[in-house]
A and B are shown apart, each in its own frame.
Chain A
Amino acid sequence: MIYSFDIESGNFTGAGHASSSVKKILKQLNVDNSIIKRVVVALFEAEINVVAHADHGNIKIILDNQEIRMIVKDKGPGIPDIGMAMKEGYSTASQKVREMGFGAGMGLPNIKRNTDEFNIESIVGEGTCLEMAVYLN
């Protein structure tokens, strides 16, 4: 099964909508709660990052009986130094993002902790693509 969601930049009220839908889908499929939690936490942080740092993006979820694969792709400024961005505490987030309770540089590390596969590619001036997978067993 494949699901697709669009993410709008700057829309903090809508941020989390995709993660919430995915959570409901996985619950309906009777996926284990601890797996659901890892998926939605990673996806939610990724969604917040698009809203906070990029222009717009798309989420693709690919489900089979082995894994939940998530591809979060955005058009935006990209990340010049991925090694730096992966460090806990590193953040370029705006005041507005901080007021929403994010922007402490914990997002990407949180995503990595919760996923079995994590890959990030970014081209400065074009955008960023995160590919993550959580295994079902």
Chain B
Amino acid sequence: MHINEIIKILDATPVTGELCKHREEDFHYAFSSDLMSDVLRLSTDNTILITGLCNVQTIRTVEMAEIKLVILARGKKADDSMIELAKENDICILETDYSVYKVSGELYSGGVKPIY
């Protein structure tokens, strides 16, 4: 799925601004987790992280795991330090009020595959 399509179906806010709009690539895989050690076990590239865990370590983990798109679910809001770190590392953050379950379902229906 393309990021613009994801933003639309999730009614999401791209808090990293311009960085999100110019994302060309399609995302093929997603993973939902609030446990960062599990995120660090993934070996698939170009994965979306769907999470309700909202702190600077979420973004650090994503940086180490080479993930470029994070969807903060259930109304969680990224703070300035998260946004700054994300921008530094070319990571997009989307915020949505939908639950992790709903976000996962919408992306799945849109053709985004699970990793396992």
Chain B nearest CB from A37 CB (Å) reads 6
Contact across chains for A44 and B56 when beta carbons are under 8 A apart: no
Encoded as 1 (CB less than 8 Å from any A CB) or 0, chain B from 48 to 71 comes to 000001011110110111100000
Complex: how many Å from CA A33 to CA B61?
16
Query: In the assembled complex, which residues on chain B have CB atoms less than 8 Å from the CB atom of A16?
Result: 57, 60-61, 63-64
Interface residues on B, range: 20 to 34
Cβ contacts under 8 Å, B40 to chain A: 41, 44-45, 106, 110
Dominant SS among interface residues on chain A: helix
**Interface residue from A13, A37, A41, A102 paired with B56 (Cβ < 8 Å):** A13
Q: A101–B58 contact, CB under 8 A?
A: yes
A36 closest partner in B (C-beta): B66
**B106 vs chain A, min Cβ distance (A):** 23
Count class of interface residues, chain A: 20 to 34
> Interface 1/0s, chain A 95-128, versus B by CB < 8 A?
0000111101011001001000000000000000
A113 and B38 alpha carbons, distance in the complex (Å): 13
Residue contact B55 to A41, C-beta cutoff 8 Å: no
Q: A17 — nearest CB in chain B belongs to which residue? A: B60
Give every chain B residue within 8 A of A20 (Cβ-Cβ): 60, 63-64, 89
Distance of A99 Cα from B58 Cα, bound (Å): 11
Task: Check A101–B64 contact: CB distance below 8 A.
Answer: no
Inter-chain contacts of A99 with B (CB < 8 A) = 55
Q: Across the two chains, which residue of chain A brings its CB closest to B57?
A: A100
A102 touches B36 (CB 8 A): yes
Q: Please, which residue of chain A has its CB at the minimum distance from the CB of B55?
A: A100
Instruction: Give 12 A-B pairs besides A44-B64, A100-B36 with Cβ atoms closer than 8 angstroms.
Output: A12-B55, A12-B56, A40-B64, A41-B65, A44-B40, A45-B37, A100-B55, A100-B57, A101-B36, A101-B37, A101-B58, A106-B40
